[in-house]
Chains A and B, each alone.
Chain A
Amino acid sequence: MTSLLTVEGLTKAYPGVVANDRVSFDIAEGEVHALLGENGAGKSTLVKMIYGLVQPDAGRMTLRGAPYAPPEPSAARAAGVAMVFQHFSLFDALDVAENIALGMETPPPMRRLAARIREVSETYGLPLNPDRLVGDLSAGERQRVEIIRCLLQDPRLLIMDEPTSVLTPQEVDILFATLRKLAAEGTAILYISHKLEEIRTLCDRATILRLGKVVDSCNPREKTAAELAEMMVGAKLTAPARGGGTPGDVVLEVSGLSLPSSTPFGTSLRDISFTVRAGEILGIGGVAGNGQDELLAALSGEAQVAPDAVNLKGQPIGALGPSPRRRIAVLAAPEERLGHAAAPDMSLTENALLTAAIREGLAARGFLKWPAARAFAEKVIEAFDVRTPGPGNAARSLSGGNLQKFVIGREVLQRPEVLVVNQPTWGVDASAAASIRQALLDLAQSGTAVIVISQDLDELMEISDRFAALNEGRLSPPRPAQGLTLEEIGLMMGGAHDMEVAHVAE
């Protein structure tokens, strides 16, 4: 195979951190090449340089033997490099055709483009209606828009950033079939992920990044997932320890919970019912955008619902706001750390006050007790090993993992009866993720009813006792997590929605 893209000594530094340190690797034509690394290993910076969004400080690239240094994404696209983003590249209020046109250099007139979209989407088994508003699409469909946008430009190199995080297992299989077909046609694919099994299934070669440096490369099919994980993290990982113990009485009962969406492109919750017992972890899976945020809001009290839709030990609490719920020990930690779970510009002390004022007695008759708030923040920092110079530092100055430990720790230390967390380890490095999962297991062990909403199925299988899936605002009946197959989980999540296997034979 001939080399398509060669990267030599690429370096990019940001204040206080070298994101990429002399990174070198190459991709052959028609190869599916994995870029493997933890959050913060420098994968994003590297592909942004290849796509022309960020300019390297040093190093060079060659594409098909010619020097390649795209000053901006349009130059990269002109050279045949396309990218499917994990976030941030679709426009909700525009329709599919307009979204696709925006990602092309010289789009054809709209009517011709719409016809092309239908044609290509059917060839690759990714049906799409060009006239629909993107805001109304599911996460999987939105990704199709991104992929079709790339395919319409006949790319030689397709970069995919964490593409499966928004797909059900069945949809992942279909995506992989599409990618294999593309590779067979000669398109190289740079596949970024931290999901090891996927890389073993799909990729021909893997380059492993750690702390901005290339630490290894291998044929992932010849390695076990554990070996790959060790290369990625640089240390042996121990799975969290689960205590035995049988669950106690039902603490939280949700029955017939419905909640119309409050935003134009949000998801409505429809007739959700489940129970959680003391000492039990209920895992709720599902692809992004199927009602996770809304469910958290209904459980935290940010969104009020019918009083008897949510019951704590038989008492209706659905109509209570966040503060009264905290008073009765129903606590929550939302997904978005900056701006929802924590105020970015406020200090950790102030952020401790944000949810702990009531249960920790940080205010008396409305007047704040700053020393007590500071002491509580310090307690969280201490107990959860949050790396920061002190509680006076702003939340946004912490790394994702450290802030997440603070956010989870802040709730755990308030002795909840019920704790609801959404995406507790999203964008968090492996060691922080492990300690957060352990903290949740320990909390359940001590008798708390825990609900973990997550899109990371491995995580849910690791820690939950029972599993349920959200799909378009509905919740599947929970089932014991042990013994569930990936196939079954995928079906609970809605299967392949309306995708179909690519016509590989043609």
Chain B
Amino acid sequence: MIVNLYPLKEFKLPVIAECINPEVFKGKSIEEIGRLEVWEGNKQRRLNELFKLEAEEAESSPEAPVITIHGDVSRVRRIGAGMKNGEIVVKGDAGMHLGEEMRDGKITVYGNVLGWAGSMMRGGTIEVHGNAGDYLGAPYRGSTEGMKGGKIIVHGNVGREAGAHMKKGIIKIYGCAGQFVGFRMKGGTIYVQKDCEARVGACMVDGTIIVGGCVESVLPSFTIEGLRKRVKIEEGEVVEAPFYLFTGDLTENGRGRLFVAKGPNPHLSHYEKFL
């Protein structure tokens, strides 16, 4: 089954709608889905008070429904939170906490997403064709439980602290990234194709960060290991270009690996004297 959701209005108030989740929709009629509870500001509403709902039978009917949202839902938070299977497609911008704690399944956004997309993610895939906000894949405040698995692909730019406290999984950013990419990360891989603001890999303990563009600076608490001719991002994706390899963060006795492309970063050439 495919469920199509059309926003009935331009949302002004924050909407909390963790019920937009294939797992929740599964086995329910369109009327039952319409009666699911959501919050708009401080008022409890039903899903069909905010969205027009349409069901269509898919040709190849997968087990869990596919949810397609048509329109701007950038005020709608927690879409697909905790989802375990199925698929969500957002044709428009999506709000905060998209796919928070998701375990499996797929979310595709043809637009931008706000902060905390894929927060505390454990599995599955999130693909964003626009930009992503701050704290991509990062944990909740005060927690060190970052991303533990799964894949996030962003074709645009991302905000600050992407992949903070990450333990496992992969984040690929084909645009630029804000500061503190991979802050305190413990494992996994982050790839930034374009430029990175400062403090990449701050306090990282383990894991890999690859920056293909210019980095503002490398923290003084990183040490240069050597030069590499190419770097593998994941199975089937290799970047053929010379990279500096730094390890750190020394302040945390870290063994994290930070690859920075040599070409766009002539200001780092002074490190070569240590090689």
Genuine A/B complex: no
**Residues of B in contact with A (beta carbons under 8 Å apart):** none
